[in-house]
Amino acid sequence: MITIILTYRDRNINILKNCLATLANQVTKNFDVILVDYGSTSNYKNELCVLIDAYSFVKLIRCETEQQLWCKSRAINIALKTIESPYCFIGDVDMLYHPGVYYGIRAGG
């Protein structure tokens, strides 16, 4: 089991949607995702809730830090304190994941 940590704040929701769609299409489903919303504004929060409801493997952590500066390392540390798996991977919402590469195993071989 591995936990993938993603951080987010006021980004185009389609970027995150594309990222989560590639994770949903993984051949191996032995992972969880923690998404830390570090201070998004109201309109982004609403879009985020609608999107996250479609992905059961995503746990959302909200940080009400809207008036504070973006701090990716703090957002990552918040997620690290909650993981239960022995391994974690810190990704980015801009990343797209190949469906067959997981734990060094390629699909079909």
Q: CA 69 to CA 22: how far, in whole Å? A: 29
Confidence of residue 100 (pLDDT cuts 50, 70, 90): confident
Structure tokens at 32: 């969880």
Q: CA 105 to CA 51: how far, in whole Å? A: 29
- Tell me the domain boundaries of the chain: 2-90
* pLDDT number for residue 103: 52
- pLDDT tens, 67-76? 888 899 999 9
Four-way CATH pick for 2-90: 3.40.50.300, 3.30.360.10, 3.90.550.10, 3.30.70.890: 3.90.550.10
- pLDDT tens, 46-94? 899 999 999 999 999 999 888 888 899 999 999 999 999 999 999 999 9
* pLDDT number for residue 109: 46
> 86: which DSSP letter?
S
3-class secondary-structure state, position 50: helix
